[in-house]
Structure 1
C-alpha cells in the first residue's frame, strides 16, 4: 500500500509556499536572470573500452591544446589533441609502471592511476595507487610526455591539484582499509613543493598534513557530527585511520585548501604553507521530510514518487570546487554519498534488513507515519532504501533506530568556508530528470531500466567544476547514473538558479548490447571547465566530461549566458519544482509541463537533449507562485484521484 498519495501530495504542494530558503524553490528553477546559456556537443573521443574506467578524470593543457584523461585500469594517462575540438584525437599515452621514484622505489605492476592535473607551464602530475592499495602511492611528473620525477606520498592517492601559482601540489591520500581490516592506513594530505627544478625533487620536498591532532592523544576535540565509525587497527589512531580524504579544492590565494572527507561527511581545512590540518567542518544532514528536499526511495513501487520521507541524507560529497563571490570564498560540493562496504565491516543495509538483522525501528520515533513502522518498511516505501547502520541507533536495554540516514544528498550544495550551507539544490535533480526522461527515471549507467536507482543515491551527483562565462559564474555538476550535466548560475551563492540540463546519452540503445558504443556517454565522472581565453575555439568556453562506463571523453561548446533573459514567450514550456504525482512508467500526468518538445533558444530541448530553464516565473512574485502552485495542487489531486480509481478498478 502506498502512503496516502493524494493527501501527501496536497500537503507537500501547499508546504512549498513555506519552504526554507536554503533549498531550491520554484523561482530558482525557472532560470530567470542569466541569458540562455546553452551546451552543445562538439566532439567525442571513444576509447572503445566498456565499463573499465577508461575515462575517469580529465585535465586541460591550454598551451598545447591537449586533454589528459585518466585511464585507470590501464595505469596510464591518455593524451588527446583537441586543436580541432570536433575530433579529439589520441596522440600518446603516459605510462606509469616502472617509473623510478626519489625514495628508491618504482611504480610497480598492478598500479592504478587515479588523478591528473596540469600546471600552466605544461607540467603534468599523475596520482598512482600502489598494489596493494594500502601501501604508499606515488606522484609521477611528466615534461613533454616524458617522466622526469616521482615522489612517494600516502596510501591510495585519490586526487591531486596544483595551487594557483603552481608552486605546490596537493594530494588527497584516501587511505582505505584492506578488505579484512588487517591494515587501515591513515588518511592524509601530501603537500609537495614543486617550485624548484623538475627532475631534482627529493622526498624532502614532500610534507604530510595528517589528522593525529584529533586522535585520543592528540589534544583536539572532534566535532560531534563528524562520522568516525567502524573497526580500527590502533585505538590511539582511530580518527586518523578513519578519515579518508577524497578531493581537494584550493582558494584563489593558494593559502588554504579544503579537503572532502566523504565517508566522514566533513571538510578538512589545510594551511598549505604549514602543511597542517587546522580544522574539520561537519556538514550536517539533509532532512528529507522538509518541503523541497523530497526524494524517490523505492525501486519497487513502479512509479515516479518524489515525496517527503522521515529520513536524513548524509551529504558525503565526492567532487568539490572553490570559487570567489563578493570577496569571499565558497565551496561547491557534489553530494554523491558513499558507504563503507568491506569484507571486514559493512555499514550499508536496506531498511528492511536493518530491522531484521540489527535492531528494530523505534515505534515512537516513526509514529506519525500512516500504518506505523510495519507499513514504513514495506518494499514500496522505505524497505529497500540503503541506509547506514552506524548512525541513528538509540542505545539502551532495547536498542532501536530512532533516525534513518541514507547516503548522499542527491543534490549539490554551496557552503561558506566555515561549513555553513547557503544553498542546496533540494529535489531538483530527480524532478528535472523525471520530467526529461520519465521512462528512464533513475536509470543506472550500465542499463536502461526505469527506477532502479531510487533505493540507492538516485542520480548520484559525482563531479563538479566551476567556470565564468560573461561575468556570470556557473557550476557544472555531472550525474553518474542517469548521466548528463546540470548547470546552475551560482554568481549569487545563496540564490543559485538552475539553468540547463544536457545529457549526451541515447536511451534507444541498450548499453548491455554489442551496439553499446552508440549509447553515447555513460557514467559522467570528471568534469573540467575550459575558459574562453584558454579554448581552442576563439572566445568560446568549453566543458570536457570524462565518462567511466562508456570510456568516452566529450567536449561541449558553451554559448550565451551574456545577460538577462527576456520573458517566456507564449507557448514555451516552463520548468516546475512542484511534486510529481505517482505515475507508472509510460503514462503521463497533467501536472508536469512538457519540456521535451523542441523549442527556440530560450527553452525546451535541442538536438543534444539539452533541457533549458525558460524565463518568466520569477517575475510573478509571491502571488504568481501561489497561483501556480494552487493550479498544480488541483491538477495533482485530480491525477491522484484518477490513479486511485484505476487501482480500485484493477483490484
Structure 2
C-alpha cells in the first residue's frame, strides 16, 4: 500500500487495535486568564501559543501574543497547576524557551510588514523580569536551543502581508536564520550570525520566509520555509548543507467544500505541502507538520531523511482518523482541513513518540515511530481550541499543549494549557468514534439522543443545523468502549437530503422510525415543527407548532421530544414572548385528536448566561429533562438532570393559564463534566437516553468544531 494514500480502513484498524499497556490521559486544564492579577480586566483576550519547560520539569513558560508577554505556570503538582503570573515584554512574543534559570523569548516589534524588527528578550525566571535583549534585525518566529545548550537558532520570518495582492511571494524584505552562541547560559549577542536563505527555493526564492527551526544532537539546524514550500538543513558550521522542495501530495477521499455536508469523496489536484512545524527524530531524520498556506492545505505530516528522501507521508490518514472521533472542522474544508501545525518528538522509556497537533481539529495525535517507515497512530488526545504549541516532559511522563484560541468575548471557552500523563490507565478519550465502520462516517454536533424499545445495546443520535446539507441520524453501539457509530441515515425529503433542519429532539415512533423536533429560525425561514421519518430517514409527516404560539416565537424553540402513548411531548428550550419570566413550556400534541396543549416548567434562577432545556425523555413513571445555562468552564453553574412525574403532566389548552409543574433534581452533571476527561466544563449537554437496562446515557454537542474544542463527551451515567 502506498504510504501516501493510507485507506480509511487502515487508519481505523490502527485506532481499533488492542489497548496499549500505557496511554496518555489529560490530568489538568489551566485557563491562562488565571495568570492575570486580581483587579485586571479578565475579559481581555489572552492566549497560550508556544510553550517550554524548565529542566527540572516544574515550570512552564508560554507566549501570550494578545497580552504582549509571557505567562509562567508552576506544575510541581501537575494535577493542580498554579499561576505564576505574566511578564510584560512590550511587543508580540512569538516563541519562548527556558535555559537553566533564564528564558529566551522572540519578540516581534515590527512597525509594518515592510519594516520588520524584533529582539530576543532574556528573562530571569526567579525574579520574572527582563534582564537583557539581543537585536535580531527582523521579525522572529521560532526559537530552538541546541541539545547541548551551546547555541540558539532563531527563524527570522519577516512574514508577508496576506492581504497584499494575492498574498503570495515575493514580499520583501527577505527572512533569514540567526545563530547565537550561548555563554554561561545566556545569548552572546556580540557574536550573532545571520544565515542567508535567498536563492534556494523555487517558489519566491528571493524572499525566503523561515517558519520553524529545530536542532539535532550533531548541531545541525533544520528550517522550514513554509510559504516557499522548501526545507533547508544548515550544518554545524553554519553553512547550508542541503535544501530541497517539500513537494506536493494528491489526497483521495477528502472534503474540499464548505457546504454544511461531510462528503469525503474528492480527489485533489497536487497540493504543495507547505510545512510549518519541524522536529528532528534522530540525527538523520526529521518530521514536518504540513499546514499548507496560500497554496492550500495538504492536511498531513511527513517523515524525511535529511537529504530530502521521503520515508513516510500520512496522506489522508490523520485527517480520516480525526473525522472518526467527530473533530473534523467542516467549515475549513475549502481551506486547509484539519491544519496540522505544531509537533514534538520525545522518547518515553523505550518508545519514540511523535506528537502532531491539528490546529483546526483541536487534537494532539500520538504516533509510535519505532519504525519510521510505518508510524503507528496510538491515540488522539483532546485539547483546548486550536493547539499551537506542544512540549514533552519524559522525565515526568508528561505532555503539555498550549491552546491559543480565546473566545471569551462570545462567552465561549478561554485559552488553556492542557497537561497529560502517560500511565497504565486506559485511554479516557475518545468516548465515541466511528472508527471501524465499513465506510468513513463523518459526524459531530450531536444535539439529540434516543433509545428504541426492544433494540438492545444501541442508541440513536441526531446532528443539528451545523450539517444543514446532511441532517443525519446515527446508530451507536454502546456495548463497545469507546462506543461506536456503526451506521448513518440521512434525513431526506423528496429523495434529497432535507434542507432547513435543526434536529434537536429525537424519539422512537414505535414503528421503526422516529419523531424529530426541528428548532426553527424565522429569520432564516426555518419552521418550528415536529417531523416523522421512517426507517430510511424519509420524512413522512410534518406538524408545525400552533399558530397561536408562533406569534410569540424566538429562535430558541423545540429542543426535546418524547412519546407517551399517543401524545408527543415537546420541550421548548427558552422563554417565548408569551411565557412568564423563568418559565418554559412543555407542549403536548395528541396524535389522535391532533390538538396542542401545554404545561409550564419552572427554570432554575438565571445567572450571567441564559437558562433553558436541552432534552426531554421518558423512563418509567417520569419525564426527564436536561436543564442548563450556556456558560463554560468555571463560569458554568447549571448542568443538571431533573424529572417530573408523568402523573403530574396534565396539560391545558393553549391560551389558558398553564399549570406550573413540580420538578425534582436528579443529578448535577458538572462534577462529571470536570472529571471524565479533566477538561473544562463544556457548554452544551444536550442528549439523554436510557438503555434497556435502565442506565442513563448522556452526550454533549461539540458544535461541529466551530468555536469549540470539538470534544464530544458520551458516557453511561448509571441509574438515576
Q: Taking structure 2 as the reference length, what is the TM-score of the superposition? A: 0.56
Moved over 6 A (4+): 639-644, 648-651
1:191 aligned onto 2:179: yes
8 Å contact from structure 1 (residues 177, 185) kept in 2: no
Alignment CA distance shift 1:424-1:471 (3 Å): same
Bigger relative CO (Cα 8 Å, ≥ 6 apart): 1
2:273 matched residue in structure 1: 315
Match of 2:235 among 271, 276, 281: 271
Alignment CA distance shift 1:155-1:491 (3 Å): same
1:462 aligned onto 2:341: yes
Match of 1:262 among 226, 232, 236: 226
Alignment CA distance shift 1:34-1:421 (3 Å): farther
8 Å contact from structure 2 (residues 180, 188) kept in 1: no
2:289 matched residue in structure 1: 334
Post-superposition offset of 1:252: 2.3
8 Å contact from structure 1 (residues 193, 205) kept in 2: yes
2:675 matched residue in structure 1: none
**Greater Rg, structure 1 or structure 2?**
2
Match of 1:207 among 185, 193, 203: 193
2:133 matched residue in structure 1: 150
8 Å contact from structure 1 (residues 463, 527) kept in 2: yes
1:118 matched residue in structure 2: 98
1:523 aligned onto 2:383: no
1:285 matched residue in structure 2: 248
Post-superposition offset of 1:151: 0.8
2:6 matched residue in structure 1: 24
1:78 counterpart SS class: strand
As a proportion of its length, which structure holds more helix? 1
1:575 matched residue in structure 2: 435
2:331 counterpart SS class: coil
8 Å contact from structure 2 (residues 470, 497) kept in 1: no
1:556 aligned onto 2:420: yes
1:413 aligned onto 2:377: no
Instruction: Return the alpha-carbon distance in structure 1 between the equivalents of residues 223 and 271 of structure 2.
Output: 20
Post-superposition offset of 1:415: 1.3
8 Å contact from structure 1 (residues 469, 541) kept in 2: no
Match of 2:24 among 19, 23, 39: 39
Post-superposition offset of 1:194: 1.0
Match of 2:210 among 242, 245, 252: 245
Match of 1:296 among 242, 255, 259: 255
Post-superposition offset of 1:85: 1.3
Deviates more, 1:423-432 or 1:572-581: 572-581
Post-superposition offset of 1:414: 1.2
Instruction: Return the alpha-carbon distance in structure 1 between the equivalents of residues 494 and 255 of structure 2.
Output: 19
1:428 matched residue in structure 2: 317
Instruction: Return the alpha-carbon distance in structure 2 between the equivalents of residues 485 and 491 of structure 1.
Output: 19
Post-superposition offset of 1:541: 3.1
8 Å contact from structure 1 (residues 252, 323) kept in 2: no
Alignment CA distance shift 1:154-1:587 (3 Å): same
Post-superposition offset of 1:310: 4.0
Post-superposition offset of 1:65: 0.7
Deviates more, 1:133-142 or 1:313-322: 133-142
2:279 counterpart SS class: strand
Instruction: Return the alpha-carbon distance in structure 2 between the equivalents of residues 573 and 304 of structure 1.
Output: 15
Instruction: Return the alpha-carbon distance in structure 2 between the equivalents of residues 554 and 27 of structure 1.
Output: 29
Q: Taking structure 1 as the reference length, what is the TM-score of the superposition? A: 0.62
Alignment CA distance shift 1:643-1:527 (3 Å): farther
1:83 matched residue in structure 2: 76
Post-superposition offset of 1:579: 4.9
Match of 2:203 among 227, 252, 260: 227
Post-superposition offset of 1:165: 0.7
Alignment CA distance shift 1:202-1:330 (3 Å): closer
8 Å contact from structure 1 (residues 306, 579) kept in 2: no
Q: Which string of whole-angstrom CA distances, capped at 9 and with x for unpartnered residues, describes residues 247-267 of structure 1? A: 0111222x2110011011111
Residue pairs, 1:529-608, within 5 angstroms: 529-531=392-394, 533=395, 535=396, 540-549=397-406, 550-560=414-424, 575-576=435-436, 579-580=439-440, 585-588=470-473, 597=478, 604=482
Instruction: Return the alpha-carbon distance in structure 2 between the equivalents of residues 281 and 577 of structure 1.
Output: 39
Instruction: Return the alpha-carbon distance in structure 1 between the equivalents of residues 268 and 130 of structure 2.
Output: 53
1:619 matched residue in structure 2: none
Post-superposition offset of 1:558: 1.9
8 Å contact from structure 2 (residues 256, 266) kept in 1: no
Alignment CA distance shift 1:148-1:647 (3 Å): closer
8 Å contact from structure 1 (residues 208, 275) kept in 2: no
Instruction: Return the alpha-carbon distance in structure 1 between the equivalents of residues 343 and 280 of structure 2.
Output: 10
Instruction: Return the alpha-carbon distance in structure 2 between the equivalents of residues 260 and 466 of structure 1.
Output: 16
Alignment CA distance shift 1:578-1:262 (3 Å): farther
8 Å contact from structure 2 (residues 143, 154) kept in 1: yes
* Aligned-residue RMSD, C-alpha: 3.5
Post-superposition offset of 1:171: 0.1
Post-superposition offset of 1:640: 9.9
8 Å contact from structure 2 (residues 6, 317) kept in 1: yes
Residue pairs, 1:165-184, within 5 angstroms: 165-177=148-160, 184=172
Alignment CA distance shift 1:573-1:544 (3 Å): closer
Post-superposition offset of 1:204: 2.6
8 Å contact from structure 2 (residues 97, 103) kept in 1: yes
1:494 counterpart SS class: coil
Instruction: Return the alpha-carbon distance in structure 1 between the equivalents of residues 253 and 317 of structure 2.
Output: 9
As a proportion of its length, which structure holds more strand? 2
8 Å contact from structure 1 (residues 249, 320) kept in 2: yes
Q: Which string of whole-angstrom CA distances, capped at 9 and with x for unpartnered residues, describes residues 24-51 of structure 1? A: 3444543358825422221122123679
Post-superposition offset of 1:147: 2.6
8 Å contact from structure 1 (residues 332, 412) kept in 2: yes
Instruction: Return the alpha-carbon distance in structure 2 between the equivalents of residues 644 and 20 of structure 1.
Output: 41
Instruction: Return the alpha-carbon distance in structure 2 between the equivalents of residues 589 and 206 of structure 1.
Output: 59
Alignment CA distance shift 1:581-1:529 (3 Å): closer
Post-superposition offset of 1:270: 1.0
Alignment CA distance shift 1:422-1:465 (3 Å): same
Instruction: Return the alpha-carbon distance in structure 2 between the equivalents of residues 483 and 585 of structure 1.
Output: 23
1:453 matched residue in structure 2: 332
